[in-house]
Amino acid sequence: MTTRRPQRARDPEARRAALAEAAMEVIAENGVGRTTHRAVAARAGLPLGATTYYFPTLDDLIAAGLRHALDTLQADLRLWDERLRNAPDMPEALTDLAQEYLKDRRQVRIEYELCVSAARDTALRPLATAWMDGVPDMLEPTIGLDAARDVCAVLDGFILRALATDTELDTARLAAAIRNLSS
């Protein structure tokens, strides 16, 4: 007599979340252009059919991974907001936060992949906009919207340069630029 292995209970939400997390990791390692259902399924330890069941198109799967990354970023932004509100020197505090942010280059790559992907895929634009508006929205009450956007443009430039060249953030120049733009 053959004994059957007990079936594992399937939790659709847990599978969906695992696939979104795996998509985020594959995007970080390979970029959006090299993300596939097969790579995400392998990363999540799930059958290939699960990816297409929960995310019928590759665009759906990529969007889920990027949404997951955005959720992580928004949690981080709440912490940034708290630290900046209590900081005696906002430019210095923002520079410190940017330096801490760059320690997880995998996450930084995902967030910049989101912006590049949104330039090609209009469905991703709301996600990119939410990401790009996070810091300006936080700074606006203190320095005004125009200065907040300028500060973020400079901040993005410094972060992108450090990321692309695999170098450290030029904290002295960044703090000075933020100070100039926010005064």
5-27 average pLDDT score: 79
The DSSP letter of residue 57 is S
Asked whether residue 70 is assigned to any structural domain, the reply reads: yes
Asked whether residue 7 is assigned to any structural domain, the reply reads: no
Residue 7 clears pLDDT 80, i.e. is over it: no
Look at the chain and report how many structural domains it folds into: 1
Asked whether residue 170 is assigned to any structural domain, the reply reads: yes
> Tens digits of per-residue pLDDT, 53-105?
999 999 899 888 888 888 888 888 899 999 999 899 999 999 999 999 999 89
Range of the domain at 75: 12-182
Asked whether residue 1 is assigned to any structural domain, the reply reads: no
Q: Which residue has the tokens 């392998």?
A: 42
Task: Give the domain CATH number at 80.
Answer: 1.10.357.10
Asked whether residue 98 is assigned to any structural domain, the reply reads: yes
Question: CA 128 → CA 43, 77, 87, 133, 151, distances in Å?
Answer: 25, 14, 27, 8, 18
Calpha distance 168→73 (Å, rounded): 21
Q: What single string gives the DSSP state of each residue in 107-175?
A: HHHHHHHHHHHHHH-GGGHHHHHHHHHHHHHHHHHHH-HHHHHHHHHHHHHHHHHHHHHT----HHHHH
Asked whether residue 2 is assigned to any structural domain, the reply reads: no
pLDDT band at 5 (very low <50, low <70, confident <90, very high): very low
Calpha distance 7→1 (Å, rounded): 18
Average pLDDT of the residues of the chain: 88
Residue 1 clears pLDDT 80, i.e. is over it: no
Asked whether residue 157 is assigned to any structural domain, the reply reads: yes
pLDDT at 119: 85
